Amino acid sequence: MVVSVSVVMLLVVIAALLMRNKNLKVSHAIVCGLLGFCLAGSSLAPTIQSTVASTADLVSTIRP
């Protein structure tokens, strides 16, 4: 599945604007879900996955 970069960027901008509003509605959740699906199908998916995994590993090593 090839996802256009412009679609992903449009969804990123929309999600950022909705988060700044601080008023989460069903439509906002749908936009964020679509953004996640588009990112999962893009070439950025391995980079995002490795970043999240390394951040989770770092946080799990911190002792309170």
Q: Tell whether pTM > 0.95.
A: no
Distance in angstroms between the alpha carbons of the first and the last residue of the chain: 43
Q: What percent of the chain has pLDDT over 90?
A: 0
Q: What is the mean pLDDT of residues 16-30?
A: 78
Q: Which one, of 11, 17, 54, 56, lies nearest residue 36 by Cα?
A: 11
* Residue 24 pLDDT exceeds 80: no
So what's the pLDDT on residue 57?
Answer: 87
Do the beta carbons of residue 15 and residue 31 sit within 8 Å? yes
Find the Cα–Cα–Cα–Cα dihedral 10, 12, 13, 16, rounded to 10°. Answer: 160
